[in-house]
Structure 1
Amino acid sequence: MFQVMERSITVSGTAETKKGAFQNALSQMKKDIAKNNPDILLQIEPQDVEVLTAKVSTYREKFLGFLFPRTRTRYEITIRVDVKIRAVSLAEVQFEEHAESLPPLQRVLRMR
């Protein structure tokens, strides 16, 4: 019922700061694991982090084409994270079935 798995996941994140890009990638990791795993996740523990690509894009933008010029920076990072996942397998949990038959009036009253 309790499972421990190890998996390697590649995720990427973008933001206007280095810290924001890294945090965006790590939050994407949790979403990716939850989407691809049907079990109930108890803990996701990173074992190793490897930066695959890290890019900085700098561009200049102006309001109405010529007013108020400013320089914008955008950080993009792609990382590979080796994680240890602890989960409870729902396929192994046995639920007992209990069917309740109520008259229609009591069913309506119980719904409130």
Structure 2
Amino acid sequence: MKEQIETMVRVRGSGDTRRKAIADALNAVQRTVLQGTSHIILRIEPKNISVVSATSKMTEEKFLFFFLPRQRELYSVVLDVTVNVTLLDVQAIDFKRSISFKQSISTHQCDAAKSRIPAKHDRRKKTM
């Protein structure tokens, strides 16, 4: 029912600082592991992290092509993360089946029951 596997996932991340790029990549580990399995994941434990590529892209922006120049840097990283995953196999759980019947009254039946008022309870005055 409970099993443990070791797998490797490749994740990408980007951000305006190095720390944000790596954090973005590590946050993608859970999403990537979830896509590869139909079991319930109890625990994801990273064992090893290796950097496949890490790049920095510098761009210079100017307001109206001349004014207020500034440089912006965008970091991107690709990581290979080896993880131990503890899974719960839902298919291995034996569910007992029980059948119960529930009687319900439809709204049409309720309206019909309300319209049948006995004559002695009729509040309208009879005129002759």
TM over 0.5: yes
Distance of 1:55 and 1:93 partners within structure 2: 46
User: In the alignment, which residue of structure 2 is the partner of 1:95?
Assistant: 95
User: In the alignment, which residue of structure 2 is the partner of 1:29?
Assistant: 29
Q: Secondary structure at the match of 2:38?
A: coil
User: In the alignment, which residue of structure 2 is the partner of 1:7?
Assistant: 7
Q: TM-score of the superposition, structure 1-length normalised? A: 0.88
AA paired with 1:18?
R
- Runs of 5+ unmatched residues, structure 2: 107-128
Structure 1 residue 105, shift from structure 2 partner = 2.9
- Runs of 5+ unmatched residues, structure 1: 107-112
Per-residue CA deviations over 1:50-84 (Å, capped at 9, x if unaligned) read 00100000010123333321110000100101110
User: In the alignment, which residue of structure 2 is the partner of 1:18?
Assistant: 18
AA paired with 1:86?
T
Q: Secondary structure at the match of 2:105?
A: helix
| Percent of aligned positions that are identical | 25
User: In the alignment, which residue of structure 1 is the partner of 2:121?
Assistant: none
- Considering only CA atoms, is the larger Rg found in Structure 1 or Structure 2? 2
Higher strand content, 1 or 2: 1
Greater relative CO (CA pairs within 8 A, separation 6+): 1
The ranges of structure 1 where at least 4 consecutive aligned residues each deviate by more than 4 angstroms after the TM superposition are: none
Structure 1 residue 100, shift from structure 2 partner = 2.4
The count of residues paired between Structure 1 and Structure 2 equals: 106
